[in-house]
């Protein structure tokens, strides 16, 4: 279902010898009614129902485990894909919104040394439908009132789970389209509610700016200088700080969306006052028209790593210096650390 657009679904059903118009009915169940159980699709003739579901809604992934914290308002799910690959997604409920953090690859090839996912390498890209289904699973659970806080809906999606979304570009764009396509062809979300986070694959950032879908871009910078960033985000050996920041600035200019610079504060590694100043200078060199804000993430510890989060006073000083340079700065409220569901902790160990 979610791999195809409306025309593709119709075509597939026709190929399967089924009436093409049933595709719309199935889409309505999946994206609008948030139903995936064939027995609830009573407008479909029972003789055709199983074949329709097998054709357009085959089971893509099975939940192996769900872990909760924050009184059930943060839920991490471990999924087994059809070929045995494991990925994780996280639902985070806040008073005014529900954010689904989704994976775009099983594993990740970017090898950032502070990130749990990066330690195991890339297993494979996920398909559009596998990405979308993580969101739909959350949407169904909310719709049925299964998440603490009563019935609700997914308002935000962040590509901050496992994988580098821009290294799986076509599938990720397909997923963004399915999430934003109006119901019943898609989930009907606003592009503003979707954030694509990247290590800084410069040509792909430029391409993303041309898609005409103004998603929010987050650039995982983590260091304002190439010497340190070469180690923290190894793709920096290919595209340097100034190239990544310039691409992000261009993205903001083209889409009119404010970009977010992600910066995990690591004690005595990247949290020095002079680096805050340098980061402020690098970003303000592109002007102060509100194109950027910095989102500081207290480092979430991963296994077998000597790195930890910054001291509170160093974090405060880092924020103060960025603000003094006119850069809007926030510190991320980290959720789900206790269940290894926070940024950079997703490892999908069965």
Q: Would you call 97 helix, strand, or coil by DSSP?
A: coil
The reply on whether position 245 binds ligand SAH by CB under 6 A is no
Strand pairing class (74-81; 61-69):
antiparallel
Active-site entry in 11, 88, 108, 164: 88
Cβ proximity to ligand SAH, 128 vs 310, nearer residue: 310
Cβ proximity to ligand SAH, 55 vs 344, nearer residue: 344
Whether 292 and 279 have beta carbons less than 8 Å apart is answered as no
The reply on whether position 260 binds ligand SAH by CB under 6 A is no
Among 262, 269, 291, 321, binds ligand SAH (CB under 6 A): 262
Q: Would you call 39 helix, strand, or coil by DSSP?
A: helix
The reply on whether position 197 binds ligand SAH by CB under 6 A is yes
Of the ranges 37-45, 112-120, 175-183, 320-328, which one interacts with ligand SAH (CB under 6 A)? Answer: 112-120
Among 198, 216, 270, 310, binds ligand SAH (CB under 6 A): 198
Of the ranges 23-31, 124-132, 296-304, 314-322, which one interacts with ligand SAH (CB under 6 A)? Answer: 296-304
Rounded to 5 degrees, what are φ and ψ at 3?
Answer: -70, -25
Cβ proximity to ligand SAH, 27 vs 134, nearer residue: 134
Give me the least distance between CB of 166 and ligand SAH, in Å please: 8
The answer to whether 112 is a known catalytic residue is: no
Contacts with ligand SAH by CB under 6 A: the residue count is 18
H-only helix segments in 144-296: 169-180, 202-209, 226-232, 241-255, 273-284
H-only helix segments in 210-291: 226-232, 241-255, 273-284
The reply on whether position 156 binds ligand SAH by CB under 6 A is no
Cβ proximity to ligand SAH, 160 vs 175, nearer residue: 160
Residue 32's contacts (CB-CB under 8 Å, 6 or more residues apart) are: 183, 184, 188
Whether 166 and 104 have beta carbons less than 8 Å apart is answered as no
DSSP labels for 306-327? ---BPPHHHHHHHHHHHHHTT-
Whether 270 and 307 have beta carbons less than 8 Å apart is answered as no
The reply on whether position 164 binds ligand SAH by CB under 6 A is yes
The reply on whether position 98 binds ligand SAH by CB under 6 A is no
Q: Would you call 239 helix, strand, or coil by DSSP?
A: coil
Looking at the DSSP bridge assignments, the partners of residue 62 are: 80
H-only helix segments in 120-164: 128-143
Active-site entry in 101, 112, 115, 343: 343
Q: Do you find a cis peptide bond into 126, omega within 30 degrees of 0?
A: no
Nearest one of 118, 166, 138 to 345, comparing CA atoms? 118
Among 30, 114, 239, 291, binds ligand SAH (CB under 6 A): 114
The reply on whether position 123 binds ligand SAH by CB under 6 A is no
The reply on whether position 299 binds ligand SAH by CB under 6 A is yes
Give me the least distance between CB of 186 and ligand SAH, in Å please: 23
Both tokens assigned to 279: 């980061």
The answer to whether 88 is a known catalytic residue is: yes
Residue nearest to ligand SAH (CB): 344
The reply on whether position 154 binds ligand SAH by CB under 6 A is no
What are the residue numbers of the active site?
Answer: 88, 343
Residues that bind ligand SAH (CB under 6 A): 110, 112, 114-115, 160, 164, 197-199, 220, 262, 264, 297, 299-300, 302, 343-344
């Amino acid at each position: 279902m979610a791999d195809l657009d409306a025309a593709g679904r119709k075509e597939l059903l026709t190929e399967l010898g089924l009436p093409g118009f049933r595709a719309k009915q199935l889409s309505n169940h999946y994206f609008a009614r948030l139903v995936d159980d064939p027995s609830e699709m009573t407008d479909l003739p029972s003789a055709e129902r199983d074949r329709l579901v097998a054709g357009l809604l085959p089971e893509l992934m099975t939940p192996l485990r769900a872990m909760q914290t924050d009184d059930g308002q943060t839920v991490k799910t471990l999924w087994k894909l059809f070929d045995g690959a494991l990925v994780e997604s996280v639902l985070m409920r806040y008073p005014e919104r529900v954010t689904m953090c989704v994976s775009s690859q099983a594993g990740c090839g970017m090898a950032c040394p502070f990130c749990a996912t990066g330690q195991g390498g890339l297993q494979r890209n996920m398909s559009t439908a596998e990405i979308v289904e993580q969101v739909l699973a959350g949407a169904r659970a909310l719709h049925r009132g299964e998440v603490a806080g009563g019935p609700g809906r997914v308002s935000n999606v962040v590509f901050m789970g496992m994988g580098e979304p821009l290294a799986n570009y076509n599938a990720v764009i397909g997923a963004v389209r399915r999430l934003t396509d109006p119901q019943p062809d898609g989930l009907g979300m606003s592009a503003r509610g979707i954030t694509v986070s990247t290590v800084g694959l410069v040509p792909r950032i430029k391409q993303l700016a041309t898609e005409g879908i103004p998603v929010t871009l987050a650039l995982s910078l983590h260091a304002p200088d190439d010497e340190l960033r070469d180690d923290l985000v190894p793709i920096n050996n290919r595209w340097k700080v100034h190239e990544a920041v310039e691409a992000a600035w261009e993205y903001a200019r083209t889409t009119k969306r404010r970009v977010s610079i992600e910066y995990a504060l690591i004690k005595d590694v990247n949290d020095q006052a002079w680096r805050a100043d340098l980061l402020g200078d690098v970003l303000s060199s592109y002007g102060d028209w509100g194109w950027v804000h910095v989102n500081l993430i207290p480092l979430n510890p991963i296994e077998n790593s000597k790195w930890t989060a910054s001291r509170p006073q160093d974090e405060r000083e880092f924020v103060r210096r960025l603000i003094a340079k006119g850069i809007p700065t926030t510190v991320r409220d980290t959720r789900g650390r206790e269940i290894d569901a926070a940024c950079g902790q997703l490892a999908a160990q069965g």
